[in-house]
Amino acid sequence: MKIDSVDFFYLAMPKVTTEADGSQDALVVRVSAGGHVGWGECEAAPLPSIAAFVCPMSHGACRPVADSVLGETLNGPDDIHRMTATVAYNSMDLLQAAHTWSGIEMAMWDLLGHVRGVPTWKLLGYDAAYPKIPYASVLFGTTPQGTLERAREMRGRGFRAAKFGWAPFGASLESDIAHLDAAREGLGPDGILLIDAGQIFNEDVEAAALRLDAMERNRVTFFEEPFHGSAYGAYGKLSARVKTVKTAGGEAAHNRHMAEHLIDFGKVGYVQIDCGRIGGLWPAKQVADYAVKRGVTYINHTFTSNLALSASMQPFAGLKDHRICEYPTTLKQLAVDLTRNHIVPDKNGEIHVPDAPGLGIEVNPAALTQYAQDVEIKVNGKVLFQSVRSV
C-alpha cells in the first residue's frame, strides 16, 4: 500500500479557557492507504502541528513532515519504523514534528490493524491483553472542600483510584496539605491516591520536598511532575528523599530517549507516556519494555478522547503487573462526542483495551463537522493547507 493522504481535523469547544484540560480542543488525523483508513490524535496545539506537516522547507534538516510520509509504502510495522527514523532525521530541527508525527503514526497502526483484522496491541508484539485499574483523572477543586466533594464523587462512581492535579496545588504549603487531606478523606482509607503537581515547582526540590510528609501520611502512591519535564537532576534528588511515595513523570517526553533519561537519571518509580506526544505507539512500547527492565512501572498518559485513551493503552496492554491506567472522567463534550464507542469500566471496576481491529474505536463523523475549525495556511498566495470540507 502507498500512503495516499493524511488529513487533519482541528476541533475545538466554543470557548477554550486556561483550565488545564486537554479535552477543550483536538487534532484528529486520518491516514488513507490502499483503500483503507486509520485514525489518530495528536496531543498538542493543533495549528502548529498542522503547520509542521505542510510548512516550506527551511533547510535539509528542517523539512515538513509530509515529505517523509506521503507516497511512502505502508505494509507492516517495519514501514512505520522506517518512516519514524526518516521523520526524525529530515525534521530534526522542526520541533513540532514529533507531535505531528505522533498522531500520524497512531493512525498507521490503526490502519494496519484493520487491514490484518487484529488489535493494534497484537501488532506491537503482545499475545494477550490484561485488564487495568482505571484511576479517575481529575483536577483539584478550587478549595479543599471542592477537592473533598470531587473525591467522594469519584469514589461514588466506583473508582478505586483517583489522581488530583494542577492548580491550586503549589499555592501554599498550608493549602496543599489541606487539599491532600481532603482528597484522602473523600477517596476513603483504601483508595489509591495519586497527585499531579503540573510542574509547579520547576526545579525547586526543597519546595516539593516540603509536601512529602503530608503525602506519606495520606498514603499517596505517586507524586507526578513536580518539576519541569526535563529537570532530571531535580527528579533524581527528590527521588532519593522519598520513602513510600514514588516520583512519576514522562508525559513531557517527545522521544523515547527523554523517557529513558527520566528513568535512569530522574529515578522515577512510574513513567507516564503520552502516545500523542512521544512519537506514537512504537516509541511508547519501547519505553514500556525499558521500564520493565529497570523495575519501573509504566503508565499511560491521556486526558482527551477515547481514541487517545485506546491508543495509550496499547503499548502496555500485555504487561500483566502494570495495572493502573489513567482514565479521564471529566471530558469536555467535544471529546465525548468524538467517538461512537467508549471504554467503560466493567462490573469489577476495570477497563479493557478493545479486542477489535486496530485501536477498536470508531470516530464519529458528525463531531468532525460540529466542532470543526476553519483553517487555511497560505504562503505567497499558495494554499498549503485547507480544512477538509466534507468527511
Q: Are strands 324-328 and 297-300 parallel, antiparallel or unpaired?
A: unpaired
- The answer to whether the CB of 316 falls within 8 A of the CB of 288 is yes
Give the DSSP per-residue string, 47-79: HHHHHHHHPPP-BTTB--GGGGTTT-B-SSHHH
Distances, alpha carbon 2 to alpha carbons 6, 54, 108, 270, in Å:
12, 19, 12, 39
Q: Could you tell me if residue 331 is inside a domain? A: yes
Identify whether residues 159 and 112 lie together within a single domain: no
Neighbouring-strand partners of residue 137: 163, 328
Give the DSSP per-residue string, 242-281: -SS-EEEE-TT-SSHHHHHHHHHTT--SEEEE-TTTTTSH
Residue with cell 484528529: 28
Identify whether residues 107 and 255 lie together within a single domain: no
What's the average model confidence in pLDDT over 270-294? 98
Identify whether residues 80 and 159 lie together within a single domain: no
> What is the per-residue pLDDT across 204-233, written as a single tens digit (0 to 9) for each?
999 999 999 999 999 999 999 999 999 999
> What is the per-residue pLDDT across 364-376, written as a single tens digit (0 to 9) for each?
999 999 999 999 9
Identify whether residues 293 and 251 lie together within a single domain: yes
Identify whether residues 174 and 291 lie together within a single domain: yes
The CATH number given to whatever domain includes residue 84 is 3.30.390.10
What's the average model confidence in pLDDT over 270-295? 98
Q: Could you tell me if residue 162 is inside a domain? A: yes
C-alpha cell, 168: 491550586
- The answer to whether the CB of 271 falls within 8 A of the CB of 299 is yes
Identify whether residues 263 and 144 lie together within a single domain: yes
Per the structure, the complete domain to which residue 226 belongs is given by 123-337
- The answer to which of 130-134, 192-196, 222-226, 301-305 has the lowest mean pLDDT is 301-305
Q: Could you tell me if residue 28 is inside a domain? A: yes
Identify whether residues 108 and 152 lie together within a single domain: no
What's the pLDDT at 100? 98
Distance CA 227, CA 86 (A): 32
What's the pLDDT at 20? 82
The CATH number given to whatever domain includes residue 229 is 3.20.20.120
Q: Is the pLDDT of residue 361 over 90?
A: yes
What's the pLDDT at 302? 93
Identify whether residues 21 and 98 lie together within a single domain: yes
Q: Could you tell me if residue 329 is inside a domain? A: yes
Identify whether residues 218 and 241 lie together within a single domain: yes
pLDDT band at 164 (very low <50, low <70, confident <90, very high): very high
Which residues, at least 6 apart from 102, have a Cβ–Cβ distance to it below 8 Å?
40, 42, 43, 44, 275, 276, 277, 278, 279, 280
Identify whether residues 253 and 217 lie together within a single domain: yes
C-alpha cell, 318: 500485555
What's the average model confidence in pLDDT over 293-320? 97
- The answer to whether the CB of 175 falls within 8 A of the CB of 150 is no
Q: Is the pLDDT of residue 21 over 90?
A: no
Q: Could you tell me if residue 350 is inside a domain? A: no
Identify whether residues 160 and 245 lie together within a single domain: yes
Neighbours of 266 (CB within 10 A): 25
Q: Could you tell me if residue 181 is inside a domain? A: yes
Of 202, 1, 226, 7, nearest to 116 (Cα)?
1
Q: Could you tell me if residue 343 is inside a domain? A: no
Q: Could you tell me if residue 355 is inside a domain? A: no
Identify whether residues 161 and 20 lie together within a single domain: no
Q: In angstroms, what is the C-alpha Rg of the chain?
A: 20
Q: Is the pLDDT of residue 389 over 80?
A: no
Neighbours of 77 (CB within 10 A): 16
Q: Is the pLDDT of residue 330 over 90?
A: no
Number of domains in the chain: 2
- The answer to whether the CB of 149 falls within 8 A of the CB of 141 is yes
Per-residue DSSP letter, 199: T
